[in-house]
Structure 1
Amino acid sequence: MNKTVNINLANTLFHIDDDAYNKLRRYLESIKRSFAGTAGSDEIIADIEARIAELFLEKMENERQVITHKEVDQVINVMGQPEDYMVDEDIFEDEPKKSHTQSSTTKGKKLYRDIEHKYIGGVCAGLEHYLGIDALWIRLIFILLAVFTSGFGLIAYILLWILVPEATTTSQKLDMRGEPINISNIERKVKEGFDDVADKVKSVDYDKVGDKVKSSSKTFFDTIGDIIMFLFKIFGKFIGILLIIIGAATLVGLFFGMFTVGLFDAVHFPGVDFYEIVNTTGAPVWLVSILLFFAVGIPFFFLLYLGLKILVTNLKSIGNIAKFSLLGLWLISVGLLIAFGVRQAAEFSNTGSIHEKEQIALQNPTDTLVIKMNDNDYLYSRDDVHFGRMTFTYDENDKRILISDEVEIKMRKSEDSLVNITVRKDANGSSSLAARDRAKNIEYGYEIVGNQIILDEYLTTDVSNKARHQEVTTTIHIPEGTVVRFEESTRGHIGRGISNDQDYYRSSIIGHVWKMDQDGELKCQNCPENVDEEDTHGKNKIIINEDGIDIDIKDETDSFEMKINEDGIKVKAKD
């Protein structure tokens, strides 16, 4: 029958038999003697006792279990004997220090929050020890997750802050680093802490402190100043985080766009088609995408770097060579983009025109001449990418072409008794000759069917001609006395300046029958008759349609007063 003893070890109650207790007592007394007179000896002993209590708890199956001689021997085997570490450091300064850790049980790392190197909660600093990755990269990962995963990184950080314990004791700090928790490491860790404190004490300017104490404690205004400085620091940290988010998000977007759209064309974006429509510099899209990446990305990289400098005070510099190399690369990229832009702008600096004139003979000159557009919408399937009114389409042979509805119709009096059609094709170019060549490549046609002139609704050109404000103006010259009518299909294509006795503007002439007089003016044959002058005296007419606003004042003595304000439009006639 063995006698048991209750002991309190590191504020934990244990039941231990008498023989095991005596051995444990002698062991602890030898440790105390070994560290007698050592700086921080009390803290070393307390940490050793806490570690022994932790090892006892790991070996107990229930709280009533009695600690025996066997458990004490196992703990001593892990912790080591004090004499194993008693080495003259001056003699063996160049030799590796003997340690019992080689025969000790080595445990894996445990996840703790490192509050000694924390920035907010010590989560990233603790993960640095656990994963072996620099805390700076872990912080960047959390920031990127917070930006690109709808705040998941922030939520994960807060959860780890709440759930992961902080490393407060020496044993926990050694456990966090994966170092064996024995007498030697506990002693070393505690001494490191005391050395840090000693260095801080030695670096104190005692004269300055004495003067400050003599002068008085902090005044109210000093406290206000400290609060303001604290707020400024918080604001600076916020600016740093904001710069990191903006810089990282922009770089990621540019990097993704350069590789998927610019280099490999893995993702089809309308912007690439738009580039194909307008580009005449000869620079491929992959080259422009790389230049844009450097021209835009390098400033945002330095923005990201500035944010890191604000947050991490001991961040290493990237070096002058890297800085000047990036600056040179940025200048080259910007210079090439400007050169491409100037060359592109030159493509719109000149306008060239060609004229194609044809005389036609109508089968029945006395019949009404009908002007209509060729309804060939079904021939083309247009894309959604536009430059002005020009876009991509495919012809009946599935050939990709450029198409535009920039087609205008004008009406003039003929100098002879025949109907003449003049087609003017316009385009822009870097020179007048280049513009004329591009205008010649415009494909546009019409046909005469009986007394109908059927004009193409669209002009087309090859994609190699690019979009350079190509347009077609068809002028129809008709003899005096010719009756003409514009059909509904010409709406949107009627040009300005068709003189008529009704002063109708552009599309308003559609649907009426007109006759060319000797002065080159169209006379309406079926328009409503004018109201008597006495009935219109003091009255006015306003017509609002797709062509704009038409205000008709019959009497020169009459006038209009129009006011537009937040209540709407007020129109008032006054004598």
Structure 2
Amino acid sequence: MNKTVNINLAGIFFHIDEDAYLKLQRYLEAIKRSFTDSQGRSEIIADIEARIAELFSERVQNDKQVIRIKEVDEVISIMGQPEDYLVDDEIFEDEPKTSYSKKSTSSSASKKLFRDTDNSYIGGVSSGLAHYFGIDTIWIRLAWILLIFGAGTGILLYILLWILVPEAKTTAEKIMMTGDPVNITNIEKKIKDGFDNVSDVAKNVTDSVGSAAKNVTDSVSNAAKNIDFQKQSNKIKSSSKTFFDTVGEIFMFFLKVFAKFIGIILIIVGASALIGLIIGLFSLGVADIIHIPGLDMVEIANAGNTPIWLVSLLSFFAIGIPFFFLFYLGLKILINNLKSIGNIAKFTLLGLWLISLISLIVVGIRQASEFAYDESYIVKTELPITATDTLTIRMVSNDNFSNNFYRNNHGFKLAHDDDGNKIIYSSDVDIRVKSTTDSIATISIEKSADGRSYEIARERAKNINYNFNLRDNILLLDSYLTTNLENKFSDQEVDVVLYIPENTIVYFNNSTKDYLHYKQFEGNIISREDTNHYVKILFDDAECLDCPEEDFEVKVNTPGLKINEEGVEINSDEGNIKIDNKGLKVQSEDVKVNIDSNGINIESDN
């Protein structure tokens, strides 16, 4: 049973075994003695203790766990033995002589991303990225300039990195930022470099002292590099490392490279989507404020009357939040020590995403319900046209509207009437013609529209404006329909049904071609082929009076007989006969007959 001691190391509380405590105490005292005459001694000792406390924290699973000699030995292995720094070996005489070699004093540190505020212009993001990727800071800053002035994406990305990437505050973090192992050597070097920089700025240190300090620093740095090199060389050449360990490390290396590549892809995709959504939301907001004409079309189609800004905001959250997490995931893959956004932020974003998604579904259902009912409103008017009359039908356009706008797909647009008022305009007008036994003609205007209820759909259909006029047996039909903006676009359409007495002659002007059906069907007796012709109305049929006669054409192609526009050709085993515009040719084994414009020519083998 061993005693335990409670210690406070760099502000962190630990339970430590008594033997381990004694060893750690001697180790720290040896380190302090090694820096007795060093500049910045207190800062070096404080950072070393902070690093030791950090290493202990990584090895402690809970607050009640006790630090043992094993953990102390591991920390000493990472930080370095005191005898490497000219400390009296006698204070360790009671320890086993199997001390750790110098080659094991450096830990294989992995480079981590921090913001380097010591060399920053704004937030230290560029300097931190330069350290992480091992390139000069000028290239990172040039990339920001290109992103900002190129596509404008650099500002948002810089702000996100500024928020998410932690600042390198401690000496250990500044060393990890450059990828160097966090041990006594590098902590001492980093602090002394800081003092050297201050001395250079203040110009209070002579050139000779500065040169000496530089030489000492270079010597320590070279020694550290040599130690690292020797460590890696011996590690590779170690006999304890098996072939399978090497294969495993190679596999893990490529796996990490692939993971980093995936992280970069996620960052690019997430950032691009977020930037695009922000630009789109901003543009839509500006367009709504200054009333850009394109938004009027959206407002007309918004039958559910949901505010456009609300739909755009909900869409931004519903789409943008998943892409934000993709971006954050990419950063987590690339940056091992990325600052967490916290559970509160995560659950808040998740709740906001669910609310936005459910709200969009509700808006979509409401919008779809506006087309649930299709109702009609019919107005019939008698026309003074009898069986003895000839009726001409034409389509009439309006100078304020485009006559053939969206005619093929029955679209709509915003237009202005003669008084300058905004109205909805559509060319969804169809003409059907039916025969009747009545003595006079009748025109039926069938208006139809959609709505979320029968009453709304019928009211919208009733509010459709459509006009026609009869002048001297010439029926003028509007080629368009209109309705007020408050009716929204609800698939409004007009069917013009003409009931014409039998034996009446009708002439459809070429302007009606696009409004007639391409074939006869369900009582409709006039098609597009009948335009520009005089047509006589019959019982459920129509007869074209001035259509050209169709050419009679026969084509036969069977074994032994061929009939086409070139003539007739008969073939058999005994011979063949050919009749065309040149004459008649008969050929057999014994006789050849040729009758053409030159006369009759008969040839016989006999």
Task: Give the whole-Å Cα distance in 2 for the aligned partners of 1:308 and 1:89.
Answer: 32
Q: Find the counterpart in structure 2 of residue 109 from structure 1.
A: none
Change (3 A) 1:292 1:314: same
Aligned AA (1:309): K
Corresponding residue of 1:131? 121
Determine the structure 2 residue equivalent to 1:413.
435
The equivalent of 1:272 in structure 2 is 295
Once residues 195 and 548 of structure 2 are traced to their aligned partners in structure 1, the CA distance between those partners, rounded to angstroms, is 97
TM-score by length of 1: 0.60
Q: Secondary structure, in 3 states, of the residue corresponding to 2:265?
A: helix
Q: Find the aligned partners of 2:342 and 2:194 in 1 and give their Cα distance.
A: 37
2:44 & 2:433 partners in 1: Cα distance?
110
Aligned to 1:304: 327
- Pairing of 1:337-416 with structure 2 (within 5 A): 337-362=360-385, 366-376=388-398, 378-380=399-401, 389-416=411-438
Taking a change above 3 Å as real, the CA distance of residues 132 and 464 of structure 1, as seen in their structure-2 partners, is closer
Change (3 A) 1:354 1:125: closer
Provide the TM-score with structure 2 as the length reference.
Answer: 0.57
Question: 2-side partners of 1:308 and 1:410: how far apart?
Answer: 65
**Shift in CA distance, 335/477, structure 1 to aligned 2, threshold 3 Å:** same
2:315 counterpart SS class: helix
1:262 aligns with 2:252: no
Q: How does 1:137-216 map to 2 (within 5 A)?
A: 139=129, 174=193, 178-180=197-199, 216=240
Determine if contact 2:387/2:505 at 8 Å carries over to the other structure: no
Q: Residues 508 and 153 (structure 1 numbering): CA distance in 2 closer, same or farther, change over 3 Å?
A: closer
Report the alpha carbon displacement of residue 296 of structure 1 after superposing the two structures with TM.
1.1
In 1, the alpha carbon distance for the partners of 2:305 and 2:115 equals 52
Indicate conservation of the 8 Å contact 2:460/2:487, yes or no: yes
> Could you give the per-residue CA deviations for residues 116-150 of structure 1, whole angstroms, max 9, x where no partner exists?
9967xx9x966753336243897598876665655
Q: Secondary structure at the match of 1:328?
A: helix
Deviation of the 1:430 alpha carbon: 0.8
Q: Which of 509, 522, 526 is equivalent to 2:542?
A: 522
Cα distance change on mapping 1:338 and 1:87 into 2, 3 Å? closer
Q: Which residue of 2 aligns with 1:287?
A: 310
- Paired with 1:88 and 1:412, the residues of 2 have a C-alpha distance of 102
- In the alignment, what sits opposite 1:67? none
1:322 aligns with 2:345: yes
Counterpart of 1:233 (choices 246, 251, 256) is 256
CA distance in 2: counterparts of 1:148 and 1:86, whole angstroms? 44
> 2:116, 2:128 within 8 Å by CA — same for their partners in 1?
no
**CA 1:265–1:380: 2 relative to 1, 3 Å:** same
Aligned amino acid, residue 523 of structure 1: E
Letter in 2 for 1:510: T
Structure 2 CA distance for aligned equivalents of residues 339 and 459 of structure 1 = 32
Question: Retained in 1: the 8 A contact 2:267–2:331?
Answer: yes
Post-superposition offset of 1:339 = 0.3
For the residues of structure 1 that align with 2:405 and 2:515, how far apart are their CA atoms?
22
Cα offset, 1:89, TM superposition: 11
8 Å CA contact retained: 2:446, 2:494: yes
Superposed displacement of residue 375, structure 1 = 2.9
Q: Could you say if the C-alpha distance between residues 218 and 340 of structure 1 is closer, same or farther in structure 2, counting changes exceeding 3 Å?
A: same
Tell whether the 8 Å contact from 2:403 to 2:427 is kept in structure 1 after alignment. no
Q: Note closer, same or farther for the CA distance 1:322–1:454 as it changes in structure 2 (3 Å cut).
A: same
Q: CA deviation at 1:455?
A: 0.2
Cα 1:325–1:413, aligned 2, differ >3 Å: closer, same or farther? same
What's the offset of the Cα at 1:374? 0.6
**1:536 counterpart = 2:562:** no
Q: 1:449–1:394: structure 2 CA closer, same or farther, 3 Å change rule?
A: same
Aligned AA (2:485): V
Shift of the 484–89 alpha-carbon distance from structure 1 to 2, 3 Å rule, reads: closer
In 1, Cα distance between the equivalents of 2:493 and 2:400?
20
SS at match of 2:378: strand
Inter-partner Cα distance in structure 2 for 1:88 and 1:485:
104
**Which stretch of the first structure deviates more once superposed, 246-255 or 130-139?**
130-139
Question: Judging changes above 3 Å, is the alpha-carbon distance between structure 1 residues 141 and 308 closer, same or farther for their aligned structure 2 residues?
Answer: farther
What is the CA-CA distance between 1:260 and the residue it aligns to?
Answer: 3.1
Structure-2 separation of matches of 1:331 and 1:145: 37
Q: Distance in 2 between matches of 1:488 and 1:467?
A: 29
Aligned residue type for 1:392: L
Within 2, Cα distance between the matches of 1:335 and 1:537?
Answer: 66
The separation in 2 between residues aligned to 1:256 and 1:337, in whole angstroms, is 20
1:265 is matched by which residue type in structure 2? Answer: D
Where does 1:25-40 land on structure 2 (aligned, <5 Å)?
39=34
Q: What percentage of aligned pairs have identical amino acids?
A: 35
Contact 1:382-1:392 within 8 A present in 2 as well: no
Q: Distance in 2 between matches of 1:148 and 1:262?
A: 22
SS of the residue 2:277 aligns to: helix
CA distance in 2, matches of 1:151, 1:278: 32
Note closer, same or farther for the CA distance 1:314–1:240 as it changes in structure 2 (3 Å cut).
same
Structure 2 partner of 1:51? none
C-alpha distance 392-338 of structure 1, shift in aligned 2 (>3 A): same
**Could you say which residue in structure 1 is the equivalent of 2:60?**
none
Q: Distance in 2 between matches of 1:88 and 1:451?
A: 107
| Cross-structure match for 1:425 | 447
Q: Give the whole-Å Cα distance in 1 for the aligned partners of 2:392 and 2:195.
A: 92
Report deviation, 1:190. 6.5
1:310–1:214: structure 2 CA closer, same or farther, 3 Å change rule?
A: closer
SS of equivalent to 1:491? helix
Q: CA deviation at 1:249?
A: 1.9
Partner of 1:101: none
Maintained 8 Å contact 1:416/1:479? yes
Distance 1:142 1:332 in 2: 41
What one-letter code is carried by the residue in structure 2 that aligns with 1:131? Y
2:340 match: secondary structure: coil
Alignment partner of 1:526: what SS? coil
Structure 2 residues not aligned, in runs of 5+: 1-30, 46-108, 130-139, 155-177, 181-185, 558-606
Q: Does the CA contact (< 8 Å) of 1:144 and 1:245 recur in 2? A: no
Distance 1:385 1:186 in 2: 82
Tell me if 1:506 matches 2:496: no
TM-superposition CA deviations, 1:271-305 (whole Å, max 9, x none): 63342122122321111121111111111111111
Shift of 1:508: 1.3
Is the contact between residue 500 and residue 522 of structure 1 (CA under 8 Å) also seen in structure 2?
Answer: no
Q: Which amino acid aligns with 2:527?
A: R
Gaps of 5+ in 1: 1-35, 42-81, 91-115, 155-164, 540-575
Q: In structure 2, what is the equivalent of residue 493 of structure 1?
A: 515
1:124-180 CA distance string (max 9 Å, x none): 9667533362438975988766656559999xxxxxxxxxx9999959983699533
Structure 1 residues 237 and 166, CA, compared in 2 at 3 Å: closer, same or farther? closer
2:431 matches 1:441: no
SS at match of 1:453: strand
Q: Distance in 2 between matches of 1:258 and 1:138?
A: 32
Q: Which amino acid aligns with 1:529?
A: E
